[in-house]
Amino acid sequence: MEKFTVLNGVVAPLDRANVDTDAIIPKQFLKSIKRSGFGPNLFDAWRYHDIGEPGKDPATRSPNPDFVLNQPRYKNANILVARSNFGCGSSREHAPWALLDYGFRVVIAPSFGDIFFNNCYKNGLLPVVLQESEVDRLFHDIAAFPGFRLVVDLAQQTVTYPDSSRAYRFEIDAFRKFCLLNGLDEIGLTLRHADKIRAFEERRKAEQPWLFS
């Protein structure tokens, strides 16, 4: 997994609540057996007028100019600000894969769907929970200042305006922070406890043998 330390990036707004993972990456793209290549189809149904299919050349598509990510000012955005319950719905990890493949490294929202939230950490995409009022402020400032940027510092757990005029603190579990800062492979970490897992398993086998038959 790629490390996450500090990011200074262009911010794009997605002013909708309850953005579900079906909207982030529609089902027809879930047929891939790879982890990459989902970026061109991020928010496909909102981003294009025509219906997307796997393998369709993005150059032949008809982009919806009204969709926020198609506006030139957000072209190189790598921080997405959204409303509450972002990433609700299906467990598809294709959703964080698509956001990352597109270029996002941070999503800021007042709340997230649980499974999506978990999936982000496994891929080096940082989900940041800020207060509703702070997110409101961000939407306002993104609209007011073309090229609006933020600095996201994981070690400090802060989201800061580049001129330091404002700083918001966010919470993150210590273990997740440690993994993300160091780009650690969680499976490798867990396997350090292999003996403990084996011992647990043996005990369980003795107590509930029907689970192992």
Partner 1 sequence: MAPQTLYDRIWASHAVHTEDDGTTLLYIDRHLVHEVTSPQAFEGLKLAGRKVWRPGSIVATADHNTPTLDWDKGIADPTSRLQVETLDANLRDLDVKAYFPFRHRNQGIVHVIGPEQGATLPGTTVVCGDSHTSTHGAFACLAHGIGTSEVEHVMATQCLLAKKSRNMLVLVDGELPRGVTAKDMALAIIGTIGTAGGTGYAIEYAGSTVRSLSMEGRMTVCNMSIEAGARCGMVAVDDITIDYLRNRPLAPKGEQWERAVAYWRTLRSDDNAKFDRVVKLDARDIKPQVTWGTSPEMVVPGDGRVPDPERERDALKRSGIERALEYMALKPNMPMTDIRIDKVFIGSCTNSRIEDLRAAAKVVRGRRVATNVRLALVVPGSGPVKEQAEREGLDRIFRDAGFQWREPGCSMCLGMNDDKLSPGERCASTSNRNFEGRQGPGGRTHLVSPEMAAAAAIAGHFVDIRTWQSH
Q: Which residues bind partner 1 (CB under 8 A)?
A: 16-18, 20, 22-23, 26-28, 30-35, 45, 51-52, 54, 83-85, 88-93, 96, 111-115, 118-119, 122-123, 173-176, 185-187, 190-191, 193-194, 196-197, 200-201, 204, 208-213
Separation between Cα atoms, residue 37 and residue 26, nearest integer Å: 14
Separation between Cα atoms, residue 96 and residue 117, nearest integer Å: 9
Instruction: Choose between 6 and 189: whose C-beta lies nearer to partner 1.
Output: 189
In which order are the strands placed within the sheet that holds 6-14? Answer: 126-129, 106-109, 79-82, 6-14, 149-153, 158-160, 167-169
Smallest gap from Cβ 70 to partner 1, in A, equals 18
| Residue 164 CB contacts under 8 Å (≥ 6 apart), including other chains | none
Instruction: Choose between 35 and 166: whose C-beta lies nearer to partner 1.
Output: 35
Smallest gap from Cβ 56 to partner 1, in A, equals 12
Instruction: Choose between 41 and 160: whose C-beta lies nearer to partner 1.
Output: 41
Instruction: Choose between 144 and 187: whose C-beta lies nearer to partner 1.
Output: 187
Smallest gap from Cβ 69 to partner 1, in A, equals 16
Instruction: Choose between 182 and 190: whose C-beta lies nearer to partner 1.
Output: 190
Separation between Cα atoms, residue 115 and residue 92, nearest integer Å: 9
Smallest gap from Cβ 55 to partner 1, in A, equals 8
Q: Which residue, 113, 64, 79, is CA-closest to 8?
A: 79
Q: How many CA atoms lie within 13 A of 86 on its CB side?
A: 30
Q: Which residue, 180, 97, 108, is CA-closest to 138?
A: 108
Smallest gap from Cβ 134 to partner 1, in A, equals 15
**Token pair for 70:** 């198609």
The span from the first CA to the last CA of the chain, in angstroms, equals 36
Instruction: Choose between 10 and 100: whose C-beta lies nearer to partner 1.
Output: 100
Smallest gap from Cβ 165 to partner 1, in A, equals 25
